[in-house]
Chain A
């Protein structure tokens, strides 16, 4: 596709349930990022993938959060035992490799997945 695609756009779940959020980056972008944005706040870094590996997962708030990118393209953010405090917009972004000479620094964000935990 032309841009970063995220599904679902909206997810309402009950406290304690398991949730998966999917991100399909721009074709050819090796770098993929997950950010979380709460109302009235800026995006907060969660995890960065370069290719298939999670190069930096230091932003994941706790071990209930996990993300994978098995083939270096689509990524899934997984949240176990959801809590009300997990409610937020989850943004995925992709870019060319930040280590590439042609990288402009631009992150291309998807429309986000809005998660509501009741």
Chain B
């Protein structure tokens, strides 16, 4: 079936270090979303990318969508303890329904103060 692979599975950083998580799909995506889930919490929407090569920024977070629309990344500059949580990418596959999201397994980020 359609899958979205996400790496790394875990990432531990010192506060102030940068962090990046990567997402790959074997098939073209119509769009990709990113969610953050705090420990014990529920997924919270961060952003949606639609266009090939798109780059969006939210304060210290930078999101990219690959030119082929098969991969994406989330980069956090100068991590803070409030960034702790699991970051999920979720893709909608081209030619499929425009409501069904396929989530990656997520990257768990821990930050040492």
Q: Which residues of A are interface residues toward B (Cβ below 8 A)?
A: 31, 33, 35, 40-45, 48, 50, 55-56, 59, 91, 98-99, 104-112
Contact = CB atoms under 8 A, between A and B. Distances in A.
Interface residues of B, number: 21
A105 B103 contact: no
B97 to A, nearest CB: 6
B109 to A, nearest CB: 14
B100 A42 contact: no
B100 A56 contact: yes
Contacts of B45: 106-108
Nearest to A41: B105
B50 to A, nearest CB: 8
Contacts of B44: 109
Given A106-B45, A111-B42, A112-B42, A31 B106 contact: no
Interface string B75-113: 000000000000010100000011111111110000000
Contacts of A43: 43, 88, 90, 101, 103
A88 B98 CA distance: 26
Nearest to B99: A98
Contacts of A50: 99
23 contacts: A35-B103, A40-B105, A42-B6, A42-B90, A42-B103, A42-B104, A43-B88, A43-B90, A45-B101, A45-B102, A48-B99, A56-B97, A59-B100, A91-B42, A98-B98, A104-B48, A105-B48, A106-B33, A106-B48, A107-B45, A109-B42, A109-B43, A112-B42
